[in-house]
């Protein structure tokens, strides 16, 4: 198959028993683009800055970076390796590998849990994608020009308090995602990522440049990179861990699905490093662009999910060419969100195809509409139901709306749990020979180190964070 005419992960169901005819990414670059398309999204530009702000900055960032290095990258390698060896959709790859090594059928649950997590995540992801969409219009319409931080704040407040506008944009976002996934073979997807990702990167650099021109750049930089451990809570550590999974799209089979299309001669280890470094760079650049503005305008770093929507427009309102840069930025944010969202809808559609024999188009429609409907609970959490805290009787969930709970349960519980089992599977259960073949870094020091991390460090880290949080 040719590189830019077909996106196999989106296009093929691979329900057959032999994977001889399984399509392949044409190159390492094609895989990197698709995997980065999934990884780089709202998690980097929307979520990372606001949770960093809520958790006091530097110490949180340090833990997050450690989680990426010690937990995220090894699990990405393991997940892609399972996918490539299984050569099918996550559930069937797990089934196939477990059978091949004579293991319990229960391993397919990893795939099942991942699918449920995808469903839940996309329901609120799409609402936030809708915010970004509405900001394309706000920027193009010149609403930011010369606006004060108060009026920018009011603009965001008005959006959140209006369920109908939120519903409109959530619907537009979901329709976009359903259309792309339903078409399956989406020509141009990789090409789009290939062109737009560097532009997003460049634009983030421009914004960091702007942040440097404010006199609060040093304050922002310090906030991000000078750890103050007195500000870090055990809950913050769990959030950092959960975010490492969220931002790299790990622990739920997405990377497994993409890995099943990776040609045998491509290095999984190198590729996982490339994708993770790219993803981390985008998040850090976003942080560097945002925090100086937060301090320059006397705003609250812990302002919550609205942080980027309340800070960046101030910059766009003041910088030369701000209407252009602002509009471009929010368009790119939407594109980054859409390429992540399609990787979230894909497992659901695949499951419909495999288990229910439902066509891709119907599956995308049924799955997408159900997710859209669930998204309404997130919309209402922001206004009418903001006082509704379904699990409020538990201390841990006090004050958490349905939106907060969906985010918490998926990122902080389901994804790390999925990742834990993926690490255990490759570290302890899959045959060592198979691991060696997939990693193809020989069987010397590098391999032993990697297996040690996967067998002991990664599971122990996830467990320790879990246990601490239960106590």
Q: Find out whether 135 and 332 touch, Cβ atoms under 8 Å.
A: no
Helices (H), 87-148: 90-100, 108-140
Q: What is the C-alpha R_g of the chain?
A: 21
Which of 8, 11, 37, 41: binder of ligand PHE (CB under 6 A)?
41
Q: Taking CB under 6 A as the rule, does residue 351 contact ligand PHE?
A: no
397 DSSP assignment: G
Per CB under 6 A, the segment of 249-257, 303-311, 429-437, 440-448 that binds ligand PHE is 249-257
Q: From CA 434, how far away is CA 285, in angstroms rounded?
A: 38
From residue 371, how far is each of 11, 201, 454 by CA, in Å?
A: 21, 30, 34
Q: From CA 426, how far away is CA 441, in angstroms rounded?
A: 15
Instruction: Indicate the residue among 289 and 314 with the shorter CB distance to ligand PHE.
Output: 289
Cβ at position 129, least distance to ligand PHE in Å: 10
Which of 340, 377, 412, 458: binder of ligand PHE (CB under 6 A)?
340
Which of 44, 194, 239, 327: binder of ligand PHE (CB under 6 A)?
44
Cβ at position 215, least distance to ligand PHE in Å: 31
Closest listed residue to residue 172, CA positions, set 120, 141, 136: 136
Q: Taking CB under 6 A as the rule, does residue 287 contact ligand PHE?
A: no
Binding to ligand PHE (CB under 6 A) within 67-126 occurs at 121
Q: Find out whether 149 and 299 touch, Cβ atoms under 8 Å.
A: yes
Q: Taking CB under 6 A as the rule, does residue 276 contact ligand PHE?
A: no
Which of 89, 186, 249, 378: binder of ligand PHE (CB under 6 A)?
249
Which of 10, 344, 423, 439: binder of ligand PHE (CB under 6 A)?
344
Cβ at position 397, least distance to ligand PHE in Å: 22
Q: From CA 237, how far away is CA 227, in angstroms rounded?
A: 13
In the numeric block, which tokens belong to residue 338? Answer: 């859409």
Cβ at position 38, least distance to ligand PHE in Å: 5
Span between the terminal Cα atoms of the chain, in Å: 52
Cβ at position 50, least distance to ligand PHE in Å: 13
The residues that touch ligand PHE, with contacts defined as CB under 6 A, are: 38-39, 41-44, 121, 246-247, 249, 252, 254, 340, 343-344
């Amino acid at each position: 198959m040719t590189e830019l005419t077909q996106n196999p992960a989106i296009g093929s169901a691979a329900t057959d028993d032999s994977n001889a005819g399984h399509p392949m990414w044409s190159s390492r670059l094609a895989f990197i683009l698709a995997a980065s398309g999934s990884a780089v999204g709202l998690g980097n530009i929307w979520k990372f800055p606001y949770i960093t702000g809520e958790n006091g900055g530097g110490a949180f960032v340090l833990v997050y970076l450690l989680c990426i290095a010690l937990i995220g990258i090894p699990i990405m390698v393991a997940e892609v390796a399972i996918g490539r060896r299984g050569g099918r959709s996550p559930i069937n790859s797990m089934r196939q590998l477990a059978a091949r090594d004579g293991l319990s059928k229960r391993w397919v649950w990893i795939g099942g849990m991942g699918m449920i997590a995808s469903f839940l995540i996309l329901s609120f992801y799409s609402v936030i994608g809708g915010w970004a969409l509405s900001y394309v219009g706000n920027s193009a319409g010149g609403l930011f020009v010369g606006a004060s931080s108060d009026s920018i704040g009011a603009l965001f407040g008005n959006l959140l308090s209006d369920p109908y506008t939120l519903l409109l944009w959530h619907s537009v976002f979901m329709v976009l995602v359903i259309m792309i996934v339903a078409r399956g073979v989406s020509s141009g997807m990789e090409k789009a990522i290939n062109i737009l990702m560097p532009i997003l990167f460049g634009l983030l650099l421009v914004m960091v440049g702007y942040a440097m021109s404010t006199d609060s750049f040093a304050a922002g930089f310090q906030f991000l990179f000078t750890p103050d451990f007195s500000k870090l809570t055990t809950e913050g550590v769990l959030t950092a861990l959960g975010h490492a999974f969220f931002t790299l799209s790990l622990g739920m089979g997405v990377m497994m699905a993409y890995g099943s299309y990776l040609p045998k001669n491509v290095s999984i280890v190198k590729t996982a490093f490339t994708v993770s470094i790219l993803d981390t760079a985008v998040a850090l650049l976003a942080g560097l662009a945002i925090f100086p503005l937060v301090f320059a305008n006397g705003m609250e770093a812990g302002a919550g999910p609205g942080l980027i929507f309340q800070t960046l427009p101030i910059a766009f309102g003041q910088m030369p060419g701000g209407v252009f840069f602002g509009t471009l930025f929010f368009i790119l944010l939407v594109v980054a969100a859409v390429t992540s969202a399609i990787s979230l809808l894909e497992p659901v559609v695949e499951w419909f195809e495999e288990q229910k024999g439902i066509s891709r188009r119907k599956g995308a429609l049924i799955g997408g509409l159900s997710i859209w409907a669930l998204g309404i609970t997130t919309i209402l959490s922001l206004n009418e139901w903001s006082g509704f805290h379904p699990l409020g009787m538990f201390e841990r969930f006090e004050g958490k709306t349905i939106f907060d709970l969906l985010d918490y349960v998926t990122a902080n519980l389901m994804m790390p749990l999925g990742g834990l089992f993926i690490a255990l599977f490759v570290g302890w259960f899959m045959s060592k020979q198979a691991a060696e073949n997939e990693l193809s870094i020989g069987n010397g020091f590098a391999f032993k180190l990697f297996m040690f991390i996967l067998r002991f460090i990664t599971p122990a880290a996830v467990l320790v964070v879990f246990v601490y949080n239960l106590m």
